[in-house]
Structures are given as C-alpha cells and as structure tokens.
Amino acid sequence: MKKFLGGIFGWIVPIVLIGCVAVMFGLILSVLQPLWPITTLIFVVVLTVHTFERKLLGFASICGIVVYALSWPITGRYGQLIGLAVCATGFLIWFWSVCQSFQRPAYAKT
C-alpha cells in the first residue's frame, strides 16, 4: 500500500505544484495588467532608440511604428483582415530595422 501511494504522490505532487504556479502567474498578471501599456512603451522605446545610430534604420523604425498606429483606424473602417495586414506590415518594418541595428552596429567596421 505504501508503494502504491508513493507512486501516486510521485506524479500528483508535481502536477499540483505546476497548477499552483500557473494560478499564481495568472494572479500576478491580472494585478499587473494596468501596467502593460507602460511596460510595452518602455520596451519599444529602448529598442527603437538603438536604431537611430544609422539614419535609414531610424527612419524605417519610425515608419514601422506609424504604419502600425495607422492600422487601428484602418481596422475600424475597412475591416479586420486589411487592418491585420497593415498592422503586421508595420510591425515587420519596425522589427526588421531593430534586427538590422543589432546585427550590424554603426561602429562596426564593414
């Protein structure tokens, strides 16, 4: 009987612990939800500032952010699919410029 209960508790305890961690993570996220826009803004600004070492990448990152911001009114007027395409295009332009700025820094010799 001890061996049987030990086997059951051997796999039940980790499942319960994982469930408790998931519930705590969900509670923490629900409490911090009002701070998400601030956190996102700081993250985007930190990554975008790095692109201004080269003018073309800085221009591309700002254009990507503008296209992304324009996707909101486009979604309201023309529908979700067109808004999603515009949103994804803006995000990809911004992401490309950030990736390029980290792959080839301006101070690196080419």
Average pLDDT, the chain: 85
Contact of 68 with 91, CB cutoff 8 Å: yes
Residue 53 inside a domain? The answer is: yes
- Within a domain: residue 110? no
Are 19 and 42 found together in one domain? no
The parts of the chain modelled with pLDDT lower than 70 are 1-6, 8, 105-110
What is the model's pLDDT at position 93? 94
What's the structural domain count of the chain?
A: 2
In order of 12, 64, 107, the CA distances from 4 in angstroms are 12, 60, 65
Q: Which domain holds residue 55?
A: 35-103
Residue 22 corresponds to which amino acid?
A
Same domain as 90, residue 41: yes
Cα-based angle 78, 81, 82 (whole degrees, multiple of 5): 50
pLDDT of amino acid 5: 64
Specify the pLDDT at position 87.
Answer: 93
Is the residue at 79 inside a domain? yes
The whole-number pLDDT of residue 33 equals: 81
Residue 50: per-residue pLDDT: 84
Whole-number Cα distances in Å, 69 to 3, 30, 33, 75, 107: 61, 26, 21, 11, 31
| Residue keyed to tokens 């994982």 | 18
94 shares its domain with 48: yes
